[in-house]
Amino acid sequence: MGFETAYHAQAALGECPLWCGQTQRLWWVDIEAPAIHCFDPETGQNQTFALDENVGCIGLRAQGGFIAGLRSGLWLLDAKGRKEKLIANPQEDTRISRFNDGRVDPWGRFWAGTIYEPRDRPAAGLYRVNAALECQPMAGDIKVSNGVAFSPDRRWLYHSDTPAHVIYRYPLDPQTGEIGARTVFHQFPFGNGRPDGAAVDAEGFYWSALYEGARVVRLSPEGEIVAEYPVPARCPTMCAFGGADLRTVYVTSACHGRPPEELADWPESGNLFAMRVDVPGQPEPRFAG
């Protein structure tokens, strides 16, 4: 079992696949060729909404449109990706920092982390926006925020720091969604792929795309790797569960900045991949703000 190309996207830096159960379409972004995309697996068609700056992540809003993490901050966008309102920009310097991975939580709040591009110190952060559009810092001491996902019982928040090859886990209050102190969920060895974007299935297993690892791994709630699935690109970036039964795993990938010899060996880099699985995922919540 492995992933196969679902759409020949040739994205520079594909990220943040997000399944919309209402329309049965997959939204995703390209960070480096800035755009929000909408893929229809029934027809194979892909619609593109260009943006004027890097877009790291999006979440669907309950009242329509998106909440998004852009280079310039956290924004509300309309259904075609046009800017409506700047919510907050907690970054010190957007010339060397931008928003990266993010996701809506079960309480309808949006979590989004940043990437500190020099990567010489842990200057990135993880932020949360509530329904009142209040932005609050939630975690720091990281270089590249990634892998935000939530357990189906609402008891755990997962979050990775990609350059450190580590996935963290934070306890959640299942009623309020407030977090406790982080612990290491899984530490990957260096040199064989590092944890990028992720999703959690209905059984509480965490699926992580390993950038420069050409695979997606499935980890148990105890943090053990129980399965590995090859991806036809060296740099898969993030997974999402989709399809009418939420049993199709989609994975975005990147080709931006990769060596020519790597792209020759991995010609499908930048494509959108899919694989059918036995255990379904979880429906993606919508932002309540």
The tens digit of pLDDT for each residue in 246-274 reads: 999 999 999 999 999 999 999 999 999 99
Is residue 125 predicted with pLDDT exceeding 90? yes
- For residue 1, is pLDDT > 90? no
Rounded to two decimals, the pTM is 0.97
CB count in 10 Å sphere of residue 227: 14
Task: Give me the amino acid identity at 170.
Answer: Y
Q: b/e for 57-92, b at 16 or more Cβ within 10 A?
A: bbbbbeeebbbbbbbbbbbbbeeebeeeeebebebe
CA–CA separation, 3 vs 227, rounded Å?
13
The dihedrals phi and psi of 11, each to the nearest 5 degrees, come to: -70, 145
Q: Which spans in the chain are helix H? A: 260-265
- AA identity, residue 169: R
Query: What's the CA gap between 60 and 283, in Å, rounded?
Result: 12
The whole-number pLDDT of residue 2 equals 87
Q: What is the mean pLDDT of the chain?
A: 97
Q: pLDDT by residue (tens digit) across 70-111?
A: 999 999 999 999 999 999 999 999 999 999 999 999 999 999
Cα–Cα distance between 6 and 237 in angstroms, integer? Answer: 15
Which residues are annotated as catalytic?
A: 196
Compute the Cα dihedral for 173, 125, 84, 76 and give only its sign: negative
